[in-house]
Amino acid sequence: MTYLIGTDIGTSGTKTILTDTQGHILAQAIEEYDVLTPKPLWRNSGRRCG
């Protein structure tokens, strides 16, 4: 069986789903993280890539 996985890395969290090729959702997960506001109107998730 073939599966598809999709991930959305956003400002306040990461969402992931696992589906089959027919589009049925088999699993899903959400991990939220804090959004820092070091100055008014600024946003920083505190995450770094690399």
Q: Can you give the pLDDT at residue 45?
A: 61
Q: What is the pLDDT of residues 1-50, one digit of tens each?
A: 899 999 999 888 999 999 999 999 999 999 998 877 777 877 666 655 54
Domain borders along the chain are 1-50
Q: Can you give the pLDDT at residue 35?
A: 77
Q: Can you give the pLDDT at residue 46?
A: 60
Q: Can you give the pLDDT at residue 7?
A: 97
Show the tokens assigned to 35: 């959004």
